[in-house]
Amino acid sequence: MLFAGVVGSAIALRQAIDRSDVSQSTFTRLMVFVLAASIVCMAVGVAGWGLLAEVYAPQTFHSAAGGIFGSPTAVSWIVSFVLFFGAAVAAVRGARASTSRFAH
C-alpha cells in the first residue's frame, strides 16, 4: 500500500511538472538547491544534537544505550555525523555542478 502511494505520488508530480508553464530547468534548479539546503540543515542538526547531548546528558551519550550494534551512543553519533556531512558535501557540489550545467 505504501509503495503504491509513493509510486502514485511520483507519477502525479511528474505529470504536474510536465503540464506546468515553469521551465524544467528552473524547476530543477530550484529543487536541487532545496534538496542541498535540506541535507545541509540535517547535517547541522545532527552536529547540534550530538553537542547538546554531550553537554546535557553526558552519561547517556557515552553509554551503550542505543548505539549501533551495542556501541556507545557517541560512536553512533560520530558515524551519523560523518555520513550526513559527506552527503551535505556531495549535495552542495552537485548543486553547484548543476547550476553551471544549466547556465550554458
pLDDT tens string 38-57: 999 999 999 999 999 999 98
Give pTM, 2 decimals: 0.67
Q: 55 and 48 in contact (C-beta within 8 Å)? A: no
What percent of the chain is predicted at pLDDT more than 70? 83
Residue 87 phi/psi, 5-degree rounding, is -65, -40
Q: 15 and 53 in contact (C-beta within 8 Å)? A: no
Reported as a single tens digit per residue, the pLDDT across 17-28 is 677 765 557 777
Q: How far is CA 90 from the centre of its chain?
A: 10
Q: Give the three cell numbers for residue 92.
A: 552542495
- Cα separation, 12 vs 4, in Å, equals 12
Q: Give the three cell numbers for residue 94.
A: 552537485
| 3-state DSSP helix/strand/coil % of the chain, to nearest 5 | 85, 0, 15
